[in-house]
Amino acid sequence: MVNLKQFGWRLFQIRVPEDWEMTAEGGGRGRTYIRLEDEQMVRLEVRWDDISPKKEPNVKKSLDSFLNELKERVEKANLKFTRLGLREIEVAGHEGYLYHVRGGGELLGASWYCNDSRRLFVVQVHFRTEEYERMREIFQSLLESVVCHGRKWWTWSVYAFRFELPEEYELYNYRLLSMYGRLSFRSKRDVWYVFAYQGMANVILEERYNGDLKKWFKDAYLKEALKQYSYYKLAEEHRLSLKGHEGRRLIFKPRLSFLKKIVLDSFLWLCDVSNRILVMSVVAPEKVHSVISSEKERVLESFTCH
């Protein structure tokens, strides 16, 4: 059996093989789409539609029309489309359907409606016919691991960096490149969490920042991720151990005291196992920082680097 890892994105969690990584995500108009690939091919597609409170969707009917669209696309490419199976299943406590089709490659998929989060899901894995036995097992454990509702804290994961956040935080924007990545979240109370990684850390630190983490933080990270605070002054600096690595806590405050006191509290460290710099910043009015201090600790605790 392959090793599985936790994957989470936009209040949806599953366990997937370790070498599957998210390569696309998007959406709009109440639809979200996520794609994961391994080194060979697309492996997993997850799609959900937000359902308005007045409607109760017919899972079977929408799955039928989804499979009919798929059939049309396959046949347009001059390939034969075959439905190999469809049966009822249960996913995360919801009734749903499991399907198996062939057309070019093969697909095993499932569709269900989560009435708690009001989302209609379609999740499918891609494989070659000779991989069927292995993939059936993987898909089975993947479905058993689905979490689509009922959490206060949710996992977010990208390129082997992972953390948990309370449900109220929404992904505001992000930048994901292989060498640098950053995710920014905002709550309705206007508290911000920013997570970032910098790859090839040893080379980049030596060549551009004199081996100085703080210099990288100010000149690279702050300017990209939190530009509006790049004129803040460093008010406190602490050395501490983070995830077994030597790290820093840097607290930045505005230069002028009559400004609304927004405080920028950051934790950063160099992970020599993954050769990356990791950062977590919390931006909030000064008095809010003490209110969320245990939350902040838990988020930092959940943030893993290797």
- Residues in touch with Zn ion (CB under 5 A): 92, 114, 116, 148-149, 243, 271, 273, 305-306
- Nearest approach, Cβ of residue 210 and Zn ion (Å): 22
Taking the complex as a whole, how short is the minimal distance between the CB of residue 298 and Zn ion, in angstroms? 19
Buried b (16+ CB within 10 A) or exposed e, 130-164: eeeeebeebbeebbeebbbbeeeebbbbbeebbbb
Nearest CB to Zn ion, comparing residues 149 and 186? 149
Tokens 């840097």 belong to which residue? Answer: 250
For the CB of residue 242, give the shortest distance to Zn ion in the complex, in Å: 9
Q: Which of 101, 123 has the CB closer to Zn ion?
A: 123
Beta carbon nearer to Zn ion, 92 or 264: 92
As measured in angstroms, the least distance from the Cβ of 116 to Zn ion is 5
Distance CA 215, CA 167 (A): 33
Shortest reach from residue 172's CB to Zn ion, in Å: 25
CB 62 within 8 A of CB 120: yes
Based on CB atoms, which residue is closest to Zn ion, 148 or 250? 148
Distance CA 121, CA 99 (A): 13
DSSP state of 304: B
Angle at 172 between CA 24 and CA 253, to 5 degrees: 135
Smallest CA-to-CA distance from 195 within 231, 229, 156, 234 is with 156
| CA within 13 Å, CB half, 5 | 18
| Minimum separation from the CB atom of position 153 to Zn ion (A) | 16
Closer of 59 and 283 to Zn ion (Cβ): 59
Nearer to Zn ion, 115 or 141 (CB): 115
Give φ, ψ of 133 to 5 degrees.
-60, -45
Query: Helix or strand or coil: residue 256?
Result: coil
Residue placing its CB nearer to Zn ion in the complex, 14 or 271: 271
| H or E element in which residue 107 lies | strand 105-114
Minimal distance, residue 72 CB to Zn ion, in Å: 30
Closest contact distance (angstroms) between CB of 274 and Zn ion is 6
How deeply is 55 buried, as exposed, middle or buried, from its count of CB atoms within 10 A (0-12, 13-18, 19+)?
Answer: exposed
Structure tokens at 142: 């993947």
Q: With respect to Zn ion, which residue has the nearer C-beta, 71 or 249?
A: 249
Residue 185: beta bridge partners? 171, 193
